[in-house]
A and B are shown apart, each in its own frame.
Chain A
Amino acid sequence: MNESQQDDHWLARPATIKLLWWVFSTVLVLLVLVQALIYVKGYFGVDGWFGFGAAFGFLSCLAMVLFAKALGYVLKRGEDYYDDGQDDA
């Protein structure tokens, strides 16, 4: 019974997830389009451009994720990295 319940939760069904993607995409499009009606004050010029918030949010996240990914190659270590050294001490 538990097994069948696991995938039966309405939030976990593929149909729901698909629907959520549709809703999410619609909201995104509307958020940009509605800027035609609502004035966004730009303090520095560029931040008042049409869809600036959307593009800036997306691109800065992209940059941060890629930067973190690259940094990860240098900085990531196994979880027992520090344990090795400390056992000797």
Chain B
Amino acid sequence: MLEFIPPATFMIVAALLIGPTRGQLRTAIVLAAPLITLWFVWQVPNGVAYDIAFLDYRIEPLEGNAVRRLFATIFALMAFVGGLYAFRQAKWYELAAAYAYAAGAVGVSFSGDLISLFFYWELMALFSTVVVWCGGTPEAQRAGLRYAIMHLLGGVMLMVGIVGVVVDTGSIDIQPLLANDFGTWMMLIGILVNAAAPPVSAWLADSYPTSSATGSVFLSAFTTKTAILALILLFPGEPVLIGIGLFMVMYGIIYALLENDIRRILAYSIVNQVGFMVCAVGIGTQMALNGAAAHAFAHIIYKALLFMSAGVVVYRTGLNRCTEVGGLFRTMPLTAICGIVGALAISGFPLTSGFTTKTMISQAAADESLAVVYMLLAAASAGVFLHAGIKFPWFVFFQRDSGLRPKDAPWNMGAAMVIFALLCILLGVAPDLLYRFLPYPVDYEAYTPGKVLFYLQLLMFSGLAFFLLLPLMKRTETISLDSDWLWRVVLLRIASSAYGLVAAAGSAVAAAAGATIAGLRSLAIRYLGPAEDEARPGVFARAWPIGVTALWIAVLLTAYVLVYYF
């Protein structure tokens, strides 16, 4: 019986209870709910647990398999560690929204049909917007609105795609598709919007860094990774994803190199990392899909760790920019060390989770003889070390002495960081812990001397490049234009000039109408109204003698008779 309860239910109940409860009870709910969810995630049987009639369809809210459980596991784990990180600092409504958001992610993981997938998908869009708004600044409000519009548009496209697919196939089942007609293309685009794929990658770096120090930790985990799961389930081996993924990988690196905002650097590197996964789904072999799933799992951990580390800096100093901080390692050793572990993991250093998962994707490319893909992924691995692996810790914790002496992380934030830092290393040292939960049997040896040497050379020499090129990477207090310029500036200008045109047309119409009315009025006054001098009112308003009236009546009757007879 218990396996029939969708695990997302517990997160939703927790989200509802966080508001009314206080103190210890709320803490207990925040910390216990994700663990209970985690337990139930592992009770979900393989296959469809049950279905419910909805209109003409059978809804399957709970379908289990290895890759679904893997994603739900990391989402629940993320909610737990995120809750631990946030429960003393975050506002209750931010926590509640974050838990509802996590519920959406867990729900998507187990959705057996397109309708329940869409339901949970929109749940995530809704509550992630609330989390962005919890940043509390006018900037966060505006970015949240743009975020909401983008995700609602993405949702509409997904819905259109789902309807198209259902009409074509008559089935709402989640099954592997190829983008070959209008419906499947719309569905693919709707999913890719959430994956921050081009040309709309900008929403991610626009919104995440404006959220609160705790909010960005939650935001970094769910939306893009549920999109990866949806791609694994719906579009494995879709060739167009390889190109999109490679573009995202490079886009993330280049923009992160230009960026000054600490958390925006990390936001761009989400796009970069998700690009690896999108590319892997596009390759579509068992090795590649294993790599995408494993990399998503590891990525959520180290990316949240990096956002936690940056979040502590933002929380303690209130500063967001590389140009404002520096030298913080002196008083924040724990935050610095955890940040460095996260940075090494994202770079895929040997002995970290990034190495044991990302190299699977490269291996998949090599196995398929995709030389260009393999080389670009290798270059990107070096680039990740450049923009996130060194740049983030260097500018925040070292660089120069900013004179800031903030305290280190509060105990709960520190504990959350330590848990994830240890997991980064554990999955790097003992990758089999993760490999045995992957969707396909793993025939892959992460640590061969040659491979370790190749990646060490790659990474250490990109480190050399970083320090030699430091003068070229001087931080400037700037932002970088992105495709969102098209709607934030061009569209705004078009809209305001269209508004001006409409306003001009409107005033022209109003003037013409005014003139017409004035003319009619003077006409009416002339014939019907009392004249300005009462001696001669309008011709029809004068008092005519009765004889004239009788004469006119006679004339009219005559005219009538004439008309009648002829």
Q: Spell out A's residues near B (CB within 8 Å).
A: 2, 6-7, 9, 11-12, 24, 27-28, 31-32, 34-35, 38-41, 43-44, 47, 51-58, 60-62, 64-69, 71-72, 74-79, 81-82, 85-86, 88-89
Contact = CB atoms under 8 A, between A and B. Distances in A.
B327 A12 contact: yes
Nearest to A3: B403
B457 A71 contact: no
A57 B254 contact: no
A57 B458 contact: yes
Nearest to B465: A61
Given A28-B460, A38-B450, A64 B401 contact: no
Nearest to A89: B492
Interface string B451-488: 10111111111111110010011001111111000001
B560 to A, nearest CB: 66
Contact of A64 (B257, B454, B459): B257
Contact of B478 (A67, A79, A88): A79
Contacts, number: 154
A40 B258 contact: no
B321 to A, nearest CB: 9
B329 interface: yes
B478 A76 contact: yes
A40 B454 contact: yes
A62 B469 contact: yes
B366 interface: yes
Contacts of B254: 64, 67-68, 71
A41 to B, nearest CB: 5
Contacts of B456: 31, 53
B230 to A, nearest CB: 30
A76 to B, nearest CB: 4
Given A38-B453, A76-B479, A61 B459 contact: no
B318 interface: no
Interface stretch (B62-70, B216-224, B371-379): B371-379
Contact of A39 (B382, B398, B450): B450
Given A39-B450, A75-B481, A85-B488, A11 B329 contact: yes
Contacts of A81: 479, 481
Given A47-B454, A61-B382, A64-B254, A55 B327 contact: no
Contacts of A12: 327, 401
Most buried by A among B375, B398, B460: B460
A54 B458 contact: yes
Contacts of A11: 329, 398
B386 interface: yes
Given A43-B374, A68-B258, A38 B329 contact: no
A36 B8 CA distance: 54
B478 A78 contact: yes
For chain B, give the interface size range: 35 or more
23 contacts: A28-B461, A28-B464, A31-B456, A35-B453, A38-B450, A40-B451, A47-B374, A53-B453, A57-B460, A57-B462, A58-B462, A60-B382, A60-B383, A64-B379, A67-B254, A68-B257, A69-B472, A72-B478, A74-B481, A76-B476, A76-B478, A78-B478, A89-B496
B449 A38 contact: yes
B382 A71 contact: no
B526 interface: no
A64 to B, nearest CB: 5
Given A28-B461, A79-B477, A61 B453 contact: no
Contacts of A65: 257, 386, 465, 469, 472-473
Contact of B480 (A7, A28, A72): A72
8 nearest interchain CB pairs?
A53-B457, A61-B465, A60-B379, A57-B458, A68-B257, A57-B461, A43-B366, A40-B450
A67 B254 CA distance: 8
A83 to B, nearest CB: 9
Given A43-B366, A65-B469, A75 B450 contact: no
Contact of B496 (A52, A57, A88): A88
Given A61-B469, A85-B492, A77 B479 contact: yes
Nearest to B458: A57
B406 to A, nearest CB: 14
A31 B253 contact: no
Contacts of A74: 481
A86 B253 CA distance: 29
B288 to A, nearest CB: 15
Contacts of A2: 405
A76 B383 contact: no
Contacts of B386: 61, 64-65
Interface string B395-406: 000100101010
Nearest to B452: A38
Most buried by B among A39, A68, A81: A68
A30 B479 CA distance: 40
B353 to A, nearest CB: 21
B26 interface: no
Contacts of A35: 453, 457
B316 interface: no
A62 B465 contact: yes
A79 B479 contact: yes
A54 B461 contact: yes
Contacts of B479: 76-79, 81-82
Nearest to A12: B401
A52 B330 CA distance: 38
B142 interface: yes
Contacts of B330: 6, 9
A34 B488 CA distance: 53
A89 B369 CA distance: 53
B478 A53 contact: no
A18 to B, nearest CB: 13
Interface in B404-460: 405, 448-451, 453-460
